[in-house]
Amino acid sequence: MKIGIIGLPQSGKSVTFDLLGGPNASRAAEEPGKGRTGVIKVPDARIDLLSKLFNPKKTTYSDIEFVDFAAIQKSAGGSGGFSSKMLSEIKTVDGLLQVVRCFRDENVYHVEKTVDPVRDYKLLVGEFHLADMILVEQRLEKVRASVAKGLKKDARELALLEKLKTTLDAELPASAVEVSAEDDALLRSFAMLTAKPMVTVLNLDERQLRDSQEEMQKRFAQELGAVKAIRLSARIEGEIAALDTAEERAAFLEDLGMTEPARARLIRTCYEMLDYISFFTVGEDEVRAWTIRKGTNAQKAAGKIHSDLEKGFIRAEVVTYEDLARLEGSYAAAKKEGVQRLEGKEYVVGDGDVMNIRFNV
């Protein structure tokens, strides 16, 4: 699971990466077009509680890899753009996190001379849109030639490409195209940038953070209401993280009207935007979160733990997190109340299910 962080210079993109991954997780890019990478744990209060209940030797959280790509730069001709190398790297990520500057600071320059989050958001999205249009047009030329020669196997791809071109020409993203389950795999193979899920970070100053109705934020919501955006101040988050004690951090958050650092909320949102959920395994040795996509059945989920569990799957013993937490981790109580159940291979695993796999190989 990999999220790419993008943004204009001085947007707070790299500061956001450092907040997400921590200084020990980041590293300098090794070559142009390659971003810094960091793997971080997904905060989950359910794992925290299960770990307290079972007191395991080891506790393992889900994780996400973040990639901090170089900022988009203006070319000599005055237009913005990602290099072809960087675009090919961005294609490898599962989702995108765009950091958009809202804060005003006369000591921090802006490449567009003024602070305008709506314009900046559209600028980067426009770059992705253009790259997708070029890809579709180039691919269309080749596939049309193949179909003209009688290669019927390319006819389905041609129909999908024409649908994509119509959508992109209407200034809509590739994600707006409705496709069948069969065509979805083909669409994924194109690795189109505007088909990737995206979360936007509005990087605020302290005044803006305290006032959600501030002018720039209101305008962003009015003009881009469908955009999934999270408000945070990278500078303030850094100050919170630097405090010595949990009590000091809690007091700072309370003063800002927050119950937790925005970092935790942002990480969870990135996890959710990819349609990922967690199921848990518990015991004296380890309490662990396992990452699967929504809609995964019990047999496939068992394969996340070990391939032998998938091959020899018999049944899954399932109890919801809510029931197990309510019963203070007692499986005996869960059986007595009838909230622990046996499920077959086609059972669709729910977020927070605690599972024990019965198998035979």
Domain limits for position 306: 295-359
237 lies in some domain: no
CA angle 273, 236, 268 (to 5 degrees): 20
264 lies in some domain: no
221 lies in some domain: no
pLDDT of 331 > 90? The answer is yes
pLDDT of 79 > 90? The answer is no
Number of domains composing the chain: 1
- Exposure string of 35-69, with b = 16+ CB inside 10 Å and e = fewer, is bbbbebebbbebbebbbebbebeebbbbebbbbbb
**What residues have CB less than 8 Å from 163, skipping those under 6 apart?**
177, 179
230 lies in some domain: no
pLDDT of 316 > 90? The answer is yes
Question: What CATH number is given to the structural domain containing 334?
Answer: 3.10.20.30
348 lies in some domain: yes
Instruction: Decide: helix, strand or coil at residue 178.
Output: coil
> pLDDT (tens digit, 9 = 90+) per residue, 333-343?
999 999 999 99
> pLDDT (tens digit, 9 = 90+) per residue, 263-286?
888 888 888 888 899 999 999 999
What's the pLDDT score for residue 271? Answer: 85
pLDDT of 26 > 70? The answer is no
325 lies in some domain: yes
Question: Which stretch of 4-13, 117-126, 159-168, 265-274 has the lowest confidence by average pLDDT?
Answer: 265-274
117 lies in some domain: no
Mean pLDDT of 208-235: 88
Q: What confidence category does residue 166 fall into, taking pLDDT thresholds of 50, 70 and 90?
A: very high
Instruction: Decide: helix, strand or coil at residue 315.
Output: strand
132 lies in some domain: no
pLDDT of 30 > 80? The answer is no
Mean pLDDT of 219-233: 88
CA distance 51 to 61: 11
Report percent pLDDT > 70 for the chain: 93
